[in-house]
Amino acid sequence: MQSVNFRDPDFLEDHIRRILAFYHPRCVDREHGGFFQHFRDDGSVYDHATRHLVSSTRFVFNYASAATHFQNSEYRDVAEHGLSFLLEAHWQPPQQGFAWVLNNREASDEVNYCYGLAFVVLAAASAMKASVPRAFEVLELAIDVLDSRFWIDADGLYADEASVGWTTLSEYRGQNANMHGCEALIASYEATGESRYLHRALAIARRVTKDLTQQCDGFVWEHYDARWKVDWEFNRDNPKDLFRPWGIQAGHQTEWAKLLVILDRYCDEEWLLPTAQDLFDRTLRRAWDAEHGGIVYGNAPDGSVCDDDKYFWVQAETFAAAAALAVATGNDEYWDWYDRIWKYSWSHFVDHEHGAWFRILTPDNRKYDDLKSPAGKTDYHTMGACYEAIRSQTESSSSPG
């Protein structure tokens, strides 16, 4: 394998450009608005009609982040194009919610998910950083719905799912929606400088990674009941569920580690870095595949592997966390992990022919199919991880202006 300095900011910026080039401009639907969201390995679109809220928002993040980092007005215009689609198509005024799935601009699934709203907030905050018009309007709208419909003061966390028209709140509770809520609130703080966003992000992080982990040997479990007691059985028979998989998700442990390090840049809290290190260290000890390389998808509560497939986002979030921890702690062992994960990903996940990353591989690193980016995957994780690796090295101690 060609020798590559994976830590070099120039390499990371070039890699971001190469990923974005896979999508741009073929993902932009100028006729109907928004973005095409289903791509094969070669970049061909295999579904022109379906629009998923997660992809719609993540594409805004992708373009707004690129516009900000590279000072590119074309990317800013595309971010504005995507933000307009969120307001004009996904937002459903009669239901006062963002449609989960659209088909030819018509809502085909209007169930309200906190997870989806968190990404609307992240998209809007990212667009604000890029000076996209109406971004603050979308941020205020999404925050208002998120807080009025999902926040439960007594729990100090967000609920997860509500029916169309907000008539019923599901008793299911999930950490994933709260993790991405925390991510979105940090971005909102960075975009606006308003401390209320940071305070809530910190409170969520403490509840999930300090309080709830006491039920699961110090790890973050995915699923809970309405009283935030661990639900060990939820989706046990469906461990590969796209948004609610069973088990201890290695990628979510390290994603939380990354968020805790970011919070540590802004908050004087002694528990943040040690908790981040603990989550990262113990996860990699049991989730790294010593035979084939890479990080497995999930572990059972007893530590055994329950899903040994390799997912692109798990590798990306983990190298981002490794870079953040390496700089924050000064411990070069995290750089060792960073390089190891990158070398594995460079060999198996990065598509050196067409661009972007493959989505999922077998335990021995073979592709399952040629669907590189179905709904939900926009390489937001991979580009975001590269930005974080750059940021960790250049802005390890910062605050919004």
Residue pair 223/172 in contact by the 8 Å Cβ criterion: yes
How do beta strands 151-152 and 112-113 pair?
A: unpaired
In the block, tokens 């540590």 appear at 264
Beta strands in 74-150 (DSSP E): 91-92, 97-98, 101-103, 106-109, 112-113
Question: Which of the residues 38, 90, 348, 381 is marked catalytic?
Answer: 381
DSSP characters for 200-256?
HHHHHHHIIIIIGGGGTTTS--SEE-TTS-B-SSTTTT-TT-SSS-SSEEHHHHHHH
What one-letter code names the amino acid at 217? D
H or E, element range at 26: none
* Distance (Å, whole) CA 76 – CA 71: 8
- Which helix H or strand E contains 159, and what residues bound it? none
Q: Per the residue annotation, which of 69, 223, 252, 348 is the catalytic one?
A: 252
**Please, which contacts does 342-347 make with residues 24 or more away whose CB atoms are closer than 8 Å?**
342/4, 342/6, 343/1, 343/6, 344/293, 344/294, 344/315, 345/294, 345/312, 345/315, 345/316, 345/319, 346/1, 346/4, 346/6, 347/1, 347/293
Known catalytic residue at 81: no
Query: Would residue 252 show up in a list of annotated catalytic residues for this protein?
Result: yes
What residues act catalytically? 252, 381
